Structure 1
Amino acid sequence: MLLHEIAHCRAGDKGNTATLSIFPRDDADYPILVRELTAARVREHLSAHVAGEVVRYELPGLCALQFVCHEIIDGGVTTSLALDTHGKSLSSRLLALDVEK
């Protein structure tokens, strides 16, 4: 199934860094997110748009994962005319990731 079937995402960006916060629609699915969404897997999935490191932070009290994506290709929102490197576009692309329930 696609990630968006069990989760939603909030995004933000500053310069060439984007933050993507993933929340399960049902808190019972949080362990699935922890298992399926490694920093390496997110980095691979977004590799056409993220050139640098992806760092994952676990927020179990909120049932959320946050990914900080460094070195957005094209310089991120403040220096690019392309929509694909903006945080909101990256969050939609991340929600298209295939996960196992």
Structure 2
Amino acid sequence: MSTPILLADYAHARAGDKGNTLSIAVFPFDDDHYAWLCRELTTERVRAQFAHRNPSTIQRYEVPGLKALNFVLEDTLEGGVNRSAGLDRHGKSLSYLLLAIELPKP
């Protein structure tokens, strides 16, 4: 079994928000790693990484034309921009939390 790697070493991400919903798109640096990303970056792994935020649902969308995955996490932003007292009410930095997931090497 190989040593796990950080997703950040193989991909980058972009986060956005709408109300209390967080959306994070993940793009592999190398298009050849897209199949690996689809296989290894599951909603279960994302749920475990965001467990402390207690998302009610997580949807994963594959975007093969862009070689990307988009994760939509509901009820994750402490009520959203207008209600949260959190430092990052928009959730922009939460893409880094996703990129900290350890995965098997491609």
Shared topology, TM-score over 0.5? yes
Give the Cα–Cα distance (whole angstroms) in 2 for the partners of residues 81 and 57 of structure 1. 30
2:73 equivalent to 1:69: yes
- Tell me if structure 1 keeps the 8 A contact 2:77–2:91: no
Q: How many pairs were matched up?
A: 101
Q: State the superposition RMSD in angstroms.
A: 1.5
CA apart distance, 1:85: 5.4
Answer with 1 or 2: which has the greater Rg: 2
Match of 2:8 in 1: 4
User: Cα–Cα, structure 1 residues 36 and 84, in superposed 2: closer, same or farther, change >3 Å?
Assistant: farther
State the SS of the aligned residue for 2:92. helix
Q: Select 2:27's aligned residue among 23, 27, 30.
A: 23
The amino acid that maps onto 2:82 is: T
Gaps of 5+ in 1: none
User: Cα–Cα, structure 1 residues 50 and 85, in superposed 2: closer, same or farther, change >3 Å?
Assistant: farther
CA apart distance, 1:80: 1.0
Give the Cα–Cα distance (whole angstroms) in 1 for the partners of residues 15 and 67 of structure 2. 16
Structure ranking higher in helix proportion: 1
Give the Cα–Cα distance (whole angstroms) in 2 for the partners of residues 44 and 86 of structure 1. 21
State the SS of the aligned residue for 2:60. strand
- Tell me if structure 2 keeps the 8 A contact 1:50–1:70: no
Q: Structure 1 length as normaliser, TM-score?
A: 0.91
Gaps of 5+ in 2: none
